[in-house]
Chains A and B, each alone.
Chain A
Amino acid sequence: MSITISGVNKKFGDFVALDNVSVDLPTGQLTALLGPSGGGKSTLLRIIAGLEDADSGTVTIEGNEATHLPPQKRNVGFVFQHYAAFKHMSVAKNVAFGLEIRKRSKAETEKRVAELLELVHLSQFAHRLPAQLSGGQRQRMALARALAVEPTVLLLDEPFGALDAKVRKELREWLRRLHDEVQVTTVFVTHDQEEALEVADEIVVINDGRVEQVGTPDQLYDAPESEFVMSFLGPVTKLSGRLVRPHDIEVYTAPEDPRGKPGRITRLLRVGFEVRLIVELDEPEHPDVEVTVTRATQRHLHLEDGLRVWVAPTSGVRAISPVRVASG
């Protein structure tokens, strides 16, 4: 295990940011710390980096006890949400910073900086100031700067959080490819489940200062261990007291399925290629059911407002096996 965190607690005044967190992050993988804002995931990342001290517990990086090491001795690369670019230095100088601190020779530094700028596609911007770059370019520069010191682990704190949706998507695909190329153990914090599912090898879901579940994207999506994980990773709706994904519900215009529950479509919303239906069941006090169907299905069945329908969970979807509803 590359990073081992055991029994870490952290409080800010009365607020419990991390509550006895223990987790192992594997070597060479891309791990996402996923959770809602204020859940403690950034605090955990900063404790790994040494930018924050744990109240109790230990952090081990590549077998070395690091709990009380200052950040500059941990050999981690850290990328901040708002880039933390050194504003008074050129792009090349930013990337060279860690190497200059380590007193590498001038020739070696220049060579390495050129390589890294090539890697992040910023070679032609080497002499610009960070203020002359776009957000995405600045974040790529920050990444090159962090990689320059050949860190044992690369930590990214909401790296794409400040970018617009399109650049975000490009950059996360790029990060995935970069990771496959560079193979450094990488941990990134995000509150965007799509980002985590798309990029990460492994996801650690953190909520209220505790680890909810650890697993591959498929494990988490298909077999969530709690209501929280299930609802955080994607949309959910309730059908007969169970949590179900809206796209795992079948819609019939006649009572074909014996499990089908009768109801009426009260709202129909088209978003791109999918159509979201709100179905009001005949069964009293059953909450409205949300169903997602494709545009093709909607056309095929002539689904429209006010239509009488029967809904049933798609057969063979184990993902929606009964979920133990956590108290509170």
Chain B
Amino acid sequence: MASSTYARDPAKVRWGLRTIVVAYVVLLVAWPTGLVFQNAFADGVGPVVDALKDPEIAHALQLTAIITVIAVVINLVFGLTISILLVRYDFFGKRVLSALIDVPLSISPVVVGLALVLVYNGRDGWFGPTLESWGLQVIFATPGMVMATVFVALPLVIREVVPVLEEIGDDQEQAARSLGANAVQTLRRITLPGIKWAVVYGVVLSLARSLGEFGAVKIVSGNIAGQSQTATLSVEETYQNFQQGTSYALAALLAFAAMACLVVVSVLRPKEHN
């Protein structure tokens, strides 16, 4: 196994490397996150539950849940479609599309928010006034927040699924076709089961990312407590208003939800899924 390869390195090197890596992860990730939980639960579970029962906070949590679910579903459907398109078909502009998909990873979410406002705002945006005349408000409302969240989490499903699709190749799909399966049957019975775990992982990453989105949503939402304020925005506002207890409680809940997703997947995921 792999360990035998490294066993040849002297013990000093091995222990040195381990210490550096562990210290790095502890200082950067584990300790700060742990402190959030420690602060949140400093006076026990009671105050945390009370803080989360506040109507504005409860509304923020509900809004985050709604936005996250919608955004994940949209990213799942489009992510799968785009992945299959990118891997299985050749078309003009394929490389441009592939590069565009990575844009959300490189652009600051704040810029994303501003861009959406420019296009969809009700006063002088490109589509905003038209949409608003149809009775659909995008900016400062849930649709805009969903769009911002979809945008920032867009590449996550695709970047998980594309390499797996490439790796499994199209032999199995061709075999299914030659055995009489049509396109839909092939997708449902062969392609999807083959990329199942990549899809699950992509969904979990999108879920975690959507739960935690802050910058883009802050710009497009208007950030009105009890109306268009999500959980992450509430964390900031309560913290700035010296309601540290509430802020830590919310932060701990968000962190817990995201980590729970990852843990559930790593437990469910079969050891050998090739």
B is a partner of A:
yes
Given the known interface contacts A85-B172, A86-B172, A87-B172, the answer about A71 and B178 at a Cβ–Cβ threshold of 8 Å is yes
A86-B190, A88-B193 known; A145+B174 contact, CB < 8 A: no
A51 — which chain B residues lie within 8 A by C-beta? 174, 177-178
Alpha-carbon gap, A102 to B182, bound state (A) = 11
A101 to B179, CA, bound (A): 8
Q: Sample 24 A-B pairs with CB under 8 A, ordered by A number.
A: A51-B174, A51-B178, A71-B177, A72-B178, A72-B179, A72-B180, A75-B180, A77-B178, A78-B175, A80-B174, A84-B172, A84-B174, A86-B190, A87-B172, A97-B189, A98-B179, A101-B179, A102-B180, A145-B175, A145-B179, A146-B178, A146-B179, A148-B179, A149-B179
Interface set, chain A 31-89, CB cutoff 8 A to B: 49-51, 70-72, 74-78, 80, 82-88
Q: Mark A21-36, 1 if CB is under 8 A from B, else 0.
A: 0000000000000000
Q: Known contacts A102-B180, A146-B179, A149-B179; is A71 also within 8 Å of B174 by CB?
A: yes
How many angstroms from the CA of A87 to the CA of B176 in the assembled complex? 12
- Chain B residues, Cβ within 8 Å of A72: 177-182
- B177's nearest neighbour on chain A, judged by CB, is A71
Q: Which residues of B contact A131 (CB under 8 A)?
A: 272, 274
* Pairwise interchain contact B172-A70, C-beta atoms closer than 8 A: no
CB pair B194 A87 closer than 8 Å: yes
Report the nearest B residue to A82, measured CB to CB.
Answer: B171
Residues of B within 8 A of A84 (CB): 171-172, 174-175
B185 sits at the interface (CB 8 A)? yes
Q: Which residue of B lies closest to A97 (CB)?
A: B179
Q: Are B181 and A101 in contact (CB-based, < 8 A)?
A: yes
Instruction: List the A side residues contacting B274 at CB < 8 Å.
Output: 87, 131
Which chain A residues border B189 with CB–CB below 8 Å? 97
A24, chain B: closest CB distance, angstroms = 22
Interface residues of B (CB under 8 A from A): 168, 171-172, 174-182, 185, 189-190, 193-194, 196, 272, 274
Q: State whether A76 touches B178 (Cβ < 8 A).
A: yes
Alpha-carbon distance A86/B185, docked complex (angstroms): 14
Q: A49-B178, A72-B182, A131-B272 are in contact. List 14 more A-B contacts (CB 8 A).
A: A50-B178, A70-B177, A71-B178, A72-B177, A72-B180, A74-B178, A80-B171, A85-B172, A87-B194, A87-B274, A88-B193, A88-B194, A101-B179, A146-B179
Partner of B178, one of A78, A88, A102: A78
Bound Cα distance from A51 to B177, whole angstroms: 9
Question: In the complex, what distance in Å separates the CA atom of A78 from the CA atom of B176?
Answer: 10
Assembled-state Cα–Cα distance A24/B174 (Å):
25
| Complex alpha-carbon distance, A50 and B194, angstroms | 23
Nearest B residue to A94 via CB reads: B175
Which A residue's beta carbon lies closest to that of B192?
A: A88
Chain B residues closer than 8 Å to A75, beta-carbon distance: 180
User: A255 to chain B: closest CB distance in Å?
Assistant: 61
Specify the chain A residue showing the minimal Cβ separation from B190: A86
Contacts of B174 in A (CB 8 A): 51, 71, 78, 80, 84
Q: With the chains together, A9 CA to B274 CA distance in Å?
A: 38
Chain B residues with CB below 8 A from A76, complex form: 178
B171 surroundings in chain A (CB, below 8 A):
80, 82-84
Q: Which residues of B contact A148 (CB under 8 A)?
A: 179
In the complex formed, the residue of B with least CB distance to A81 is B171
A236-250 interface bits toward B, Cβ cutoff 8 Å, 1 = contact, 0 = none: 000000000000000
- Residues in A whose Cβ lies below 8 Å from that of B176: 86, 97
Q: With A and B bound together, what is the CA distance between A260 and B59 in angstroms?
A: 104
Rounded to whole Å, the gap between the CB of A239 and the closest CB of chain B is 46
Write the chain A residue with the least CB distance to B181: A101
Contacts of A77 in B (CB 8 A): 178-179
**B179 CB contacts on chain A under 8 angstroms:** 72, 77, 97-98, 101, 145-146, 148-149
Q: In the complex, what residues of B have CB within 8 A of residue A149's CB?
A: 179-180
Within 8 A of B (CB), among A166-196: none
Q: What distance in Å separates the Cβ of B273 from its nearest Cβ neighbour in chain A?
A: 9
Bound CA–CA A8/B274 (angstroms): 39
Taken together as a complex, chains A and B put the C-alpha atoms of A140 and B252 apart, in Å, by 55
Neighbouring A residues of B177 by C-beta, 8 Å = 50-51, 70-72
Q: CA of A131 to CA of B177 in the docked complex: distance in angstroms?
A: 22
Question: In the complex, A87→B195 CA distance in Å?
Answer: 11
Q: Which residues of A contact B168 (CB under 8 A)?
A: 87
Point out the residue from B175, B180, B272 that lies within 8 Å of A80, measured CB to CB: B175
Contacts of A74 in B (CB 8 A): 178
- Cα A314 to Cα B171 with chains together (Å): 49
Question: How far in angstroms is the closest Cβ of chain A from B47?
Answer: 48
Using CB atoms, name the residue of chain B closest to A100: B189
| B interface footprint on A143-157 (CB within 8 Å = 1, 0 otherwise) | 001101100000000
Residue of B nearest to A77 (CB): B178
Distance in angstroms between the alpha carbons of A70 and B176 in the assembled complex = 12
Q: Report the separation of the CA atoms of residues A75 and B177 in the bound assembly, to the nearest whole angstrom.
A: 10
With a cutoff of 8 Å between Cβ atoms, the chain A residues found around residue B182 in the complex are 72
Interface residues of A in 254-292 (CB under 8 A from B): none
B residues less than 8 Å from A101 (CB atoms): 179-181, 185
The answer for the CA separation of A87 and B274 in the assembled complex, in Å, is 8
- Kindly report which residue of chain A lies nearest to residue B168, judged by CB atoms: A87
Closest B residue to A89 by beta carbon equals: B193
The distance in angstroms between the C-alpha atoms of A56 and B73, with both chains bound, is 44
B-chain residues with CB within 8 Å of residue A102 when the two chains form the complex:
180
Mark contacts of A274-317 with chain B using CB atoms, 8 A cut-off: 1 yes-contact digit, 0 otherwise. Answer: 00000000000000000000000000000000000000000000
